[in-house]
Amino acid sequence: MDAVDPSTPSIDDDLCTGCGDCVAVCPAESLALREERAIIIHPEDCWYCGDCEEMCPVGAISRSFEITFADGT
Ligand code: SF4
Ligand code: SF4
């Protein structure tokens, strides 16, 4: 079993419908569709922007933690 990498979003295969919205929105081109499911093909390029998480209509992709700034900006 693969270890979960907390530095990239996780994708729930059971929820993902393969719509491709996250692939289209990812500015780093980290995502792709394979067998009608989203996968992360370039985890090293992901900068954790969260666009994929916001775009997914079924909540299948999520970041395991949020980055917040201590000064509130
Ligand atoms: S968090 Fe941003 S850069 Fe990373 S996979 Fe999602 S849309 Fe792409
Ligand atoms: S936006 Fe959500 S449902 Fe659509 S391909 Fe991406 S993870 Fe799957």
- List the domain range (segments joined by +) for residue 20: 10-62
Residue 73 lies in a domain: no
Please give the distance, rounded to the nearest whole angstrom, from the Cα atom of residue 50 to the centre of ligand 2.
13
Pick the atom of ligand 2 nearest to 38's CA. 5
What pLDDT is attached to residue 66?
64
Separation CA 48–CA 50 (nearest Å):
6
Number of independent structural domains in the chain: 1
Confidence of residue 70 (pLDDT cuts 50, 70, 90): confident
Question: Which position has the higher pLDDT, 31 or 1?
Answer: 31
Residue 5 domain flag: no
pTM for the whole structure: 0.84
Residue located nearest, by CA, to atom 6 of ligand 1: 52
Residue 2: which pLDDT band, with cuts at 50, 70 and 90? low
Instruction: Supply the DSSP string of 15-39, one letter for each residue.
Output: T-----HHHHH-TT--EEEETTEEE
pLDDT digits (tens, 9 = 90+) for 12-38: 999 999 999 999 999 999 999 999 999
CATH of the domain at 25: 3.30.70.20
Q: 72 lies in a domain?
A: no
Output the CA 30–ligand 2 centroid distance in Å. Answer: 13
What pLDDT was estimated at residue 5?
Answer: 64
